[in-house]
Structure 1
């Protein structure tokens, strides 16, 4: 992959974990450039391995690719939004690594849903037949239609979008007056995603690629069922958590709204790494901009999850443009926030996320307008993690697995750590 140079000053600003509009814009542009490169890599794989997929599957993919190109010519911004949807990245990772044969064919079939969603949001008129594996048609960022026939007919003209899935299953969606953007509506068999308050992020409890397949990555990561999610206060907690951050650090709340596109509810688990007292949360490397988490206990815990996972997304986006560490390192290190030893990348990711939380906790603990319980928790958390972050920074300083840019980055982290002091002013 050809990496676009990143100014050293930008790397330094990102190392300090503070919100930065220019940095956010640069990171999102980098994520988009990588997403386009991965799509081209998939196209190149199909050209190079002509026998890897049946002729019918290749012809279907070509039709959907032309539909995507048509939509991009009509409205590049809407298409970019669909391509950059975090869970589109999870699908891409699966398609690029799937073995030739039926597994690859199943991944390729889903590309039709991506292309059709892009065309819908771009305002295109179209009539297309789409595969619905396992009896579900999933339109990324919009919703799912139950399809007993395992195929769906999608017809869009003007402001109206009709989707039929066999039997009585169907949906009637309406596009905006301009014909562009996210259509809304309903119908028998249709389940729409919910847009979370205060922005454009959605609660996605439907996407087929919202968690890694069993046995890949974190084995304990299981998506919560929609019936369970519907009984839980996700939207309320999201709104309250962002309000709490807004009152403490408005720039950080704005950064979260700009970087995070999707929230994926997880089934709570108890493992050696997650003891049940804190929510299990994660950011998939293939899907930066998505927060995967079990239900937090309250808005304070959710606020911390959002800051923590936003910094995993920031580091993932930066590392794609500026490699911070070398691949293949096998050294393992103990860190204070987890019982299991971590490779250098885990130490770096964890130290960066906890440094951002220390910054948040310091501001919350010393903020005269913050709720008393939030100030008290923030002061306790700052003290608890201060030594842990210091130990992790020492590990990174001595590591030979970091690149020159990685050492520069951790140097900036150390400077910001020192600037936070031994305790928030209200607790000194």
Structure 2
């Protein structure tokens, strides 16, 4: 059933203020979006690929889906909301738009399996056609993956309304069939803590689970499956310490997709618009899994909301600063990040209160850091004029939570660290992404050479040099320290960063100054130097932090033109005495 959804501003404001739940209109919006996409796909195939329309037995599958929805609408709608089905639909449409007829035929074979699964769950008899994939496998949504052939092949699926599906001439499968080399049933994660239970699909078989996600794992080995279940138990116990968040997450989270581990980024998670209620995650601890679940669920809530109302005007040019990213962001991406991190504020506040050890200190620091970051971002959104009336209502609700979280007590040393890291993130981002006006830099270089005062500055353009690792080395090092890492374990850290974190700012500044040319990340080294001077209350530091990109570009220009690097403190003093604007 397709419905037109409407949400008043007060409902949207509550979604911004409290842990959001995918229920009511947001669920109806998801079902309507899927049904519109499905009907659109079937019309595309009927009108543009008539031979495929008949070969795939689309009329039978379409009829069966309608019968299943009439017989048991809640069960059928629940199947239609399966995240992997959303990915499949969008993949089919993409193949049509690209003129990839062979690829469309390969993917359309999944339609018969969807129709068969709908009738199976609605206890209806059925018969239809599906196509195995190139490896001979057939995915039946909600049940599992069956290898029935040596390659791609059309097969008939039949059911009598009972507890099994007959792949005619090949195999009979059902929810209670034990795993074999040819049959991989869907696995589930189940947990209970503090009187609250949850069940998710642990999807390591559906071929559509990884659409637009980082690389996904294959079928998990038994030991890995056990590890994920243990991690999930730990994560759910942590989440249920905040019952409102746990209830919200339980209302709409459908499946967890394990991602391939990456040593460069051990904690990776992602959510896509077409698979609301699913998240791809790779992590190594229950704490990290709990945080990722809350974070990614926030993305799902916002995608579900965006399927019902517009929140932000299209803004194709990335131009905004997001503290959790090292690249410029467009308006919609900025809102997504803000909403996700905003949703974590209560999580961190609860952890800071309930965990007296290192985990509590980590949570208190994250709360202090990201309440600064979220406020910075939503201030940009409010000033941009990109928000619609509904977007303004959502941000108003976010402000209410933010105001509450600002009052949550954080130890003074962690608050100071958060403020320093927030400034570090902003300064490093500017050094990476802003390019000063070349004419201004040439004028500054000439003024230094002739002993003149620095001329006015302030012009810059924004660049995007592509994907980079977010954060700064000082943030990563501080997190390790707060989590209980010992100083002697910091063997991979920059020595200057270690001194910076330890509070030996004079030594840190000296080391940064010697590494500006040959550092692996010059932007991070420049930011570390400027922040060290700031924390040491050097008189020139405020001006340097106001124009970090101009400081670096002028220094490097002088070095190129003269053949030697100017003495840093003399240069800093000269730069700070110049004019800020023309």
TM-score range, shorter chain: 0.7 to 0.9
Q: Which has the higher helix share?
A: 2
CA distance in 1 between counterparts of 2:365 and 2:348 reads 9
- Establish whether residue 39 from structure 1 lines up as the match of residue 38 from structure 2: yes
1:86 CA displacement: 1.0
How much does 1:128 deviate?
A: 3.9
Contact 1:57 1:108 in 2 (8 A): no
1:105 and 1:152, CA in 2 relative to 1: closer, same or farther beyond 3 A?
A: closer
Over aligned residues, Cα RMSD in angstroms? 2.5
Change (3 A) 1:363 1:161: same
| Equivalence for 1:409 | 394
Residue-by-residue CA offset, 1:50-83 (whole Å, 9 max, x unaligned): 2335255466111111111122222212111111
Alignment of 1:220-231 (within 5 A): 221-227=214-220, 231=224
Is 1:17–1:352's contact at 8 Å kept on the other side of the alignment? Answer: no
Match among 329, 335, 339 for residue 352 of structure 1: 339
CA contact (8 A) 1:3 1:320 kept: no
Quote how far apart the aligned CAs of 1:371 are: 6.4
1:332 aligns with 2:319: yes
1:265 is matched with which residue? 258
Q: Is the aligned partner of 1:185 residue 2:177?
A: yes
Structure 1 contact 171–190 (Cα < 8 Å) conserved? no
Contact 1:131 1:152 in 2 (8 A): yes
The alignment partner of 1:30 has SS state of: helix
Give the superposition deviation at 1:210. Answer: 1.1
Please say if 1:362 is aligned against 2:356.
no
> Which 5+ residue runs of structure 2 have no aligned equivalent?
192-197, 416-582
Instruction: Report if aligned partners of 1:365, 1:424 keep a CA contact under 8 Å in 2.
Output: no
How far off its partner does 1:89 sit? 0.5
- Secondary structure of 2:224's aligned partner: coil
The DSSP-based 3-state class of the residue aligned with 1:352 is: helix
Contact 2:321 2:329 in 1 (8 A): yes
Specify the alignment match of 2:81 in structure 1: 84
Query: Could you say if the C-alpha distance between residues 307 and 156 of structure 1 is closer, same or farther in structure 2, counting changes exceeding 3 Å?
Result: same
Deviation at 1:41, TM superposition (A): 2.0
CA–CA separation in structure 1 for the residues paired with 2:251 and 2:85: 18
How big is the shift at 1:172?
3.9
Match of 1:51 among 48, 53, 57: 48
Deviation of the 1:139 alpha carbon:
0.8
Are the equivalent residues in 1 in contact too, given 2:187–2:203 (CA < 8 A)? yes
Q: How does 1:100-119 map to 2 (within 5 A)?
A: 100=99, 101-119=101-119
C-alpha deviations, 1:246-272, integer Å up to 9, x for none?
A: 1x20121121111110111111336xx
Counterparts of 1:296-315 in structure 2 under 5 Å? 296-315=283-302
Q: Give the 3-state SS of the residue equivalent to 1:24 in structure 2.
A: coil
Distance of aligned partners of 1:80 and 1:3 in 2 relative to their CA distance in 1, 3 Å threshold: closer
Could you tell me which residue of structure 1 aligns to residue 248 of structure 2?
Answer: 255
Give the 5 Å matches for 1:260-299: 260-269=253-262, 276-277=265-266, 279-294=267-282, 296-299=283-286
Give the conservation status (yes or no) of the 8 Å contact 1:366–1:424. Answer: no
Distance, in Å, in 2 between the alignment partners of 1:56 and 1:297 is 46
The Cα shift of 1:116 comes to 0.6
- Does the 8 A contact of 1:57 with 1:109 survive in 2? no
Under a length normalisation based on structure 1, what TM-score does the superposition of the two structures give?
0.85
Query: Larger Cα Rg: Structure 1 or Structure 2?
Result: 2
Distance 2:172 2:204 in 1: 19
Picking from 237, 241, 244, the partner of 2:238 is: 244
Pairs aligned (count): 398
Q: Is the 8 A contact 1:363 1:424 kept in 2?
A: no
For residue 373 of structure 1, report the CA deviation from its aligned partner: 4.2
- C-alpha distance in 1 between matches for 2:162 and 2:58: 27
Question: Higher mean Cα deviation, 371-380 or 116-125?
Answer: 371-380
Deviation readout 1:272-328 (Å, 9 max, x if unpaired): xxx525x1111111111001111x121111111011011101111111111001224
C-alpha offsets along residues 342-373 of structure 1, whole Å, 9 cap, x if unaligned? 11111111111111111111122123xx4644
